[in-house]
Amino acid sequence: MIAIPAIDIRGGACVQLVGGSFDDERVRIPDPCAVMHRWVEAGFRRVHVVDLDAALGTGDNAGPVQALLADGRARVQVGGGIRTAERADQLLAAGAAHVVVATRAIEDPHWLGELAGRHPHRLIVALDVRGRTVVTHGWARRSALQVDDAIAALDGLALGGVLVTAVHAEGRLDGADVPLVERVASRTPLPVIGAGGIATTGDLRSLASAGAAAAVIGMALYTGALDPRAVQEEFHE
C-alpha cells in the first residue's frame, strides 16, 4: 500500500476541514505549490488534489490546480467538481495522472461509462460516504445510494481505482473506518484508496490489511500527528 498526501484547495489556499464541514476549517496554508514541495521533499511521489470550491459549486481553483500540474515534481490525481468530459480532458492533457470523478459519476452512469472508455484506467471514482450512504456535491447532499450499490454499478468499467472517503471521520483524527474500506475492497477488483480519519501508522497498516492499495492522508500530516518521512518510508511506491 502507498500513502498519498492530500492537498485540498479552497479560496486559493491549501486547507483541511473537519467532518466534511466547510464551517470547520482547521488548517489554512496560502501556497498549495509550497505544500506540494514539502511533501515531495519528504519523499512522496504522488499527491491527491481536490478543488473544494468546484466540488461545492461556489467557484473554482483552476489557477492553483494548473500550477500544481505544471510543476511536474509529483504525479497528481485531481478531483473536485469534475462534471463534464471537457474538464476531465483538459486536466489529463495538462498532466494529471488521474482525474477523480464523484457527483456526476454517481448520478450519470452512462456519462461515466463513456468517459472511462475514452480514458481507460485514468479515472478514479470517488465514493464519499457518511455511515454507509453515498453523499455528493461536495459532501452536501445525501444520495439514495448505499455504498454496496455504488460499487456494483462500477462493474466492468476500465477505471484506475475507487476512492472511498469516510466523510464522518474526515479530519477528526479518530481513526480510519477500516470496515468500510474492507467492505469495498471485498466487492471490487479495482484498486481501492481509503481516506478519512487516518491518525496513526496503525491505521495505515490496518487499511493495508483490509485490502487498500493506497491511502490518502490529510489532517494527520498537516498537524504533525504523523511524521511524513516515516510514513513515506513505510508506505512508498
Identity at 11, one-letter amino acid code:
G
Distance, in Å, from the CA atom of 183 to the CA atom of 82, rounded to the nearest integer, reads 26
Grid-cell match 479530519, residue found: 171
Cell reading at 175:
481513526
Please answer whether residues 15 and 27 qualify as being in contact, where contact means their C-beta atoms are separated by less than 8 angstroms: yes
Helices 109-118 and 85-93 meet at what angle, rounded to 10?
Answer: 30
Pairing assessment for the beta strands 214-217 and 141-146 based on DSSP bridges: unpaired
Residues with catalytic annotation? 8, 128
Please answer whether residues 96 and 78 qualify as being in contact, where contact means their C-beta atoms are separated by less than 8 angstroms: yes
Beta-ladder partners of 146: 133
Those residues with Cβ within 8 angstroms of residue 33's Cβ, 6 or more apart along the chain or in another chain = 64, 67, 68, 71
Distance, in Å, from the CA atom of 74 to the CA atom of 205, rounded to the nearest integer, reads 24
Identity at 163, one-letter amino acid code:
L
Cell reading at 228:
511524513
Beta-ladder partners of 113: none
Beta-ladder partners of 184: none
